[in-house]
Amino acid sequence: MRRQISRRFLLLLAVTIPLVRASAQNTILGILEENRGHSFGDPNYRTVRVVFEKKGNEWQAFRSACDDQACLKAATSSYPSEVKWTVAFDGKNVGEVVSRTPSDFRWYSDVGQQVITSKNAVPTVGARSPEFGGYTDATVYRPLVANSKQYFADPDRWEPFVLSAEFTTLLQQAFRKRFPKLCRVSRSDQSKLEQFHYRNEEVKAVKAYTSVSGSLVARLHLEAVDCQDTEAGFDIDDPWFFVDTKKTVTYLGSGMWLVDAGDYDNDGKSELIFSINRENEGGYEIWYDNFEKHATFKFNYH
């Protein structure tokens, strides 16, 4: 009788322990991507790139900086072996996928990418566009946020916004403060730069989004280059700024576009995730805690 009870207890324990571990697992975020094939003629392929994990009160990026094949192979041990994802867009659940970490990441741009193993249709939103191809300029589907937990609502209700004259002026002033000295390629000698005395009115808003609280983020544009590089210069790659409800402006970064907003850790506040689109560089940034904190997952293509 005692032996029978012990067997039942062990069986119950074997069933419940994995459930406890699953419920105690940290929240993990991935990005459901479509990617161009690595070689000419290779078809596009879909993956979930594992990017962030919530540890305590902080979002942390998974290991992504690798400069050799040994690092790419070793990096896989930092990633979960398999994840069932809830895929979301604009505060709504758009589907589920299951994906598994491969034995190694063959290419630098593969870091973090899991192979999709589920048989159901992989979710998509909208049509393919080169806008989502990043550095590769591939015509692909929009990246979508994937969560290991079923958290996808957007309580801050971020939505597109047309800037008022007041906010436009405020952002133009912030742009000048961040970039006081800019250059353009010399018309007389295209191998040289010359100082560009731009007017605030020449700085244009490309995109802007506002939350229910009245804070906003905006992407600005000016055709100019950074004077620090005296040989060629780097384009001012559409910087993003955050404006809080007190109209304090914070610079977020350049060479990015907004993927989505959602409360991915179920703390009642939305996080914003940006896709990095820079020369030979890709990845994602997550901003949280009213834009006071952020984490970056970044990789090179070669």
pLDDT means per 10 residues in the chain (302 residues)? 45 39 72 92 94 97 90 92 98 98 93 97 96 92 98 98 97 96 87 90 97 98 80 69 98 96 98 95 96 96 87
- β-strands 45-55, 28-35 pairing: antiparallel
Looking at residue 235, its pLDDT comes to 62
CA atoms of 219 and 277, how far apart (whole Å): 13
CA–CA distance, 82 with 99 (Å, rounded to integer)? 6
Residue 282, pLDDT score? 94
Kindly compute the dihedral angle of the four CA atoms of residues 101, 104, 110, 116, in this order, to the nearest 10 degrees.
-30
Residue 157 backbone phi and psi in degrees, to 5: 50, 60
Q: Within 13 Å of residue 61, how many CA atoms lie on the same side as its CB? A: 18
DSSP assignment string, 134-145: GGGT--BPPPEE
Report the predicted TM-score, pTM, of the whole model to 2 decimal places: 0.88
